[in-house]
Amino acid sequence: MTLFTGLSAFPITPANQSGRVDTDALRTLISRLAGSGIDSIGLLGSTGTYMYLSRDERARAIESAIAEAAGRVPVIAGIGALRTDDAIALAGDAKALGAAAGLLAPVSYTLLSENEVFEHFAAVAGESGLPIVIYDNPGTTHFRFTSELIARLARLPGIVAAKNPTVTPDDSPAHLATLRAQVPPGFSVGYSGDWNCVEALIAGADAWYSVLAGMFPTVCVNLARTAREDSVEARRLNAALTPVWDLMRQHTGLRVIYALAERLGIRAEPPRPILPLAERVKQQVLDTFDALSETLDQSGVI
């Protein structure tokens, strides 16, 4: 598999409430992922709380993750920032530390226009020299990429892939077909939103950018591979994970995964003002994952 195909696993970034990354805990997560059969690690994504970390702490996270991955699996690092010059600097840091690519979202306070987003991406890709994955995450940025904008960006040197959100399972094949018709050959079209991604994979999407894989890679590796070979079995496995998808939709993947981290011996809470799940809900999460232990193939972790 090439870098921008297959399964990309997105772990949390354990840190204390002062924003200091717990590199030992992060390396524990990366070690689990690197030997699992995934195709890349999506470090410092939204689940990795990149926007809550300083430039120095992001660099510490990238350095630790790449050292632990030790060439076994490439690392794509989140480089989003409010200011273009800051995103360029973060991309430069990621490249210098050995990241294979940067994941760039149009982070904003003031709503951005399509032209502003185009110029932002062009500057980061052009000035950093780091391959860039377009990160379309309207739930956090409040900006939604049109297929026309992605097609414009895909023709810029250094912009190599897109990580698209999924709205519903039924919408993904049509969205994929529309993008395929507009982007250059070889440009990678991938999807996030774990609960909807199986249909995108069955339709031929290049990549699945997965939150669940950041904690439970084995079941996601199996699902991603099965979607290429046996759509009936892939849909059956995806349906078996419905209780997990329901929890992630209701409480966000970030909060659900943080609730499970302690089972790996990782004591971490999301950065304030994000609050951990209430104990009642946390117990519901734990009970749900316990009931699915065989499906998740958790190797005794839960």
- Residues in Cβ contact with 198 at an 8 Å cutoff, skipping those fewer than 6 apart: 169, 223, 227, 234, 235, 238
Tell me if residue 135 is catalytic. Answer: yes
Angstrom distance (rounded) from CA 235 to CA 132: 31
Q: Which position among 50, 95, 135, 258 bears the catalytic label?
A: 135
Tell me which DSSP letter residue 219 carries: H
Tell me if residue 163 is catalytic. Answer: yes
Phi, psi of 216 (to 5 degrees): -130, 75
Q: Which residues pair with 6 in a beta bridge?
A: 207
Angstrom distance (rounded) from CA 214 to CA 292: 17
Nearest one of 35, 37, 46 to 10, comparing CA atoms: 46
Are the C-beta atoms of 78 and 50 separated by less than 8 Å? yes
Q: Which position among 50, 95, 163, 191 bears the catalytic label?
A: 163
| Exposure b/e, 19-44, CB count within 10 A at least 16 = b | eebbbebbbbbbebbbebbbbbbbbb
- Residues in Cβ contact with 233 at an 8 Å cutoff, skipping those fewer than 6 apart: 226
Q: Which residues are annotated as a binding site?
A: 47
Q: Which residues are annotated as a binding site for pyruvate?
A: 47
Q: What residues are labeled active site? A: 135, 163
